Each structure stands twice: as C-alpha cells, then as structure tokens.
Amino acid sequence: MHLTLADSLGPLHNDTTRVISGSDTLMDIESYLFVTNNSSNTILVKVRKVDVSLMDSSENYFCWGLCYQIGTNLSLDSIEVRAGATNKSDFAGHYNPHHKVGFSVIRYVFFDQNNRNDSVCVNIKYDTRPLT
C-alpha cells in the first residue's frame, strides 16, 4: 500500500476510527484528512464515501478538489499526489446532524485510480451532543 492518511492530530492507521464531536445545533461539522503518497511515482487518487451508520435525517457530503452533492459516493475526478508528497488541502468531510443528538459513522476510502487495491480508509464518527 502506497497511500497513508493523517489529520491534524497525526497519522491514522488504515481502517481506524476518529471521533469528531460537535453540537447538534451546528449545520456543518467538518473533518479534514491529509493523503500521503509513499511511493516513488505520482498517483492519481480518488475517494469513495461509504455511509456505515447514519442518524435519521442527517446529511453529509465530501469535497475532493471540488465539493460533491449530497448522495454522491465516488469522486468523479482524481487528484494527482506526487511521489513522497502529502495533499493537505483537498479533502473535507461535511456532516449536518439537523439538530439530532447521537452519532453517524462515515468511511472515506482513498485509492489509486489505476490500482483500486492500493487503498487506505478511515472511519469518521460524527458525535453530536446538545449545547450546554
């Protein structure tokens, strides 16, 4: 595997879960991920979103270069990540709980468009709580 992930807290192991907490009154809870290409060649990276467990009436979407509509699960475009480079600016996950308290889990899978077996993923658990 040539791709690895990190966020502002540091490296993320493949298929790990990171919890992002926020108030149920927020309309947009965001998660940012950084994608590193550990190979010696440029890789064209795409993203697939998997809704693992969603609260009723919540909405989510993601940005990978451009922001995709709610309901889109696969990036149409790939982004070039050069050998040894880290893309820190193009991915964001967006989640709107619509004033519901609880959690949803969304998996983001990053993969080489020319080799889908070369992939890495992270599960983001969006945990919403009442504003106190």
Question: Residue 130: pLDDT above 90?
Answer: no
> Looking at per-residue confidence, does 65 or 132 come out higher?
65
At 64-80, the pLDDT tens digits run 999 999 999 999 999 99
Sheet with 34-37, edge to edge strand ranges: 10-12, 3-7, 34-37, 86-87
pLDDT value for 24:
87
At 68-111, the pLDDT tens digits run 999 999 999 999 999 999 999 999 999 999 999 999 999 999 99
Whole-prediction pTM: 0.94
pLDDT value for 1:
76
> Which residues have C-beta within 8 Å of that of residue 108, sequence separation ≥ 6?
33, 47, 48, 49, 50, 62, 91, 93, 121, 122, 124
At 14-71, the pLDDT tens digits run 999 999 999 988 889 999 999 999 999 999 999 999 999 999 999 999 999 999 999 9
pLDDT value for 132:
65
